[in-house]
Amino acid sequence: MTAVPLLFEFPFEAVYIRSIIRVSLYVSTVAVLLSTLVSLPIALVVGFTDFPGKRFLTAVINTGMGFPSVVVGLLVLFAVSNQGPLGQFGLVFTPEAMILSQFVLATPPITAISLAAIAGVDGNVRSAAHILGGTRLDVALVTIKEARYGIATAILAGFGRAISEVGSVLIVGGNIASANGVSKTRTLTTAIQLEARQGRYETAMYLGAVLVVLVLLVNAVVVRLGDGRVQR
């Protein structure tokens, strides 16, 4: 593909913006994948099972959707700080600490929305799968298939929550870029905060546009995958 000439010059080095995008995508994608691995089993167990305290647990999960970002950042900072329980791993001011923060933030919405989607699956579908000799895993897989659109929405919500948040990654990551401009823990959101702080509004607006486009692209891809199956 021939490179299309830019109509204007960006007010920043390309390496800077590329590294920021890479860090943002890496941290949020890993956090959301880990969240999904934890959230789906929880949603399936809670959705399938009736037990005392189920309503309470569901309420707790829903409340978690509103965790304040900066509080999560503070708690994770205490955990990973040299003085904290995870201090020996040297995680403070690293992408791993940011992943941990975003994992905590993304898990409640993915769990809650997946739970709603799974609860919406017709009980007869589960019964049919069971009658046909399916194991619990088979029943779970069938349910996930039936609820896939809702689960995709859940994952998108988690990703949106993760990639757009600034408070916790600023606290635990330190917003670090090396002297040559390559990001270590600087994300699109913390870069916007920094550029605005320095009065560089033009750069901040460009970064904001990149962030919005990125979120739209991810949404489009996931929705397309979902639609593709539905239309088959």
Partner 1 sequence: MPIQRRQFVSALGGGALAGLAGCSRIGGSNGERPGVAGETLTLTTTTSTYDTGLLDELNAPFEDMYGVTVDAVAQGTGAALETARNGDSDVVMVHARSLEDEFMREGYGINRRDLMFNDFVIVGPEDDPAGIEGMGSAVDAFATIAGAEATFVSRGDNSGTHTKELAVWDEAGVEPGGDWYRETGQGMGEVLNIANEQGGYTLSDRGTFLSQRSEIDLTILVQGPIRDGPELLANPYGILAVNPEIHDNVNYDLAMAYIGYVTSPDAQQTIAEYEADGEQLFFPRALSEEPNFQQYVPEGWSGNATE
Residues that bind partner 1 (CB under 8 A): 81-83, 87-93, 96, 174-176, 178-181, 184, 196-201
Cβ closest to partner 1, residue 160 vs residue 181:
181
Q: How far is the CB of 82 from partner 1 (least distance, A)?
A: 4
Q: Dihedral sign, CA of 29, 33, 38, 39?
A: positive
Q: Tokens 């991810």 map to which residue?
A: 218
DSSP annotation of 6: P
**CB-nearer residue toward partner 1: 88 or 124:** 88
Strands of the chain, DSSP E: none
Query: Residue 94 is inside which H or E element, if any?
Result: none
d(CA 97, CA 77): 8
What's the rounded Cα separation, in Å, for the pair 202 and 161? 25
In the complex, minimum distance from the CB of residue 90 to partner 1, in angstroms, rounded to a whole number:
6
Q: At closest approach, how far in Å is the CB of 97 from partner 1?
A: 11
Residue closer to partner 1 by CB (options 181, 226) is 181
What is the spatial distance between Cα 68 and Cα 80, in angstroms, rounded to a whole number? 19
- In the complex with partner 1, the residue whose CB is nearer, 2 or 88, is 88
Min separation Cβ 197 and partner 1, Å: 4
> Cβ 184 to partner 1, closest distance in Å?
6
Residues 92 and 196: their CA atoms lie apart, in Å, by 25
Of 117 and 171, the one with the shorter C-beta distance to partner 1 is 171
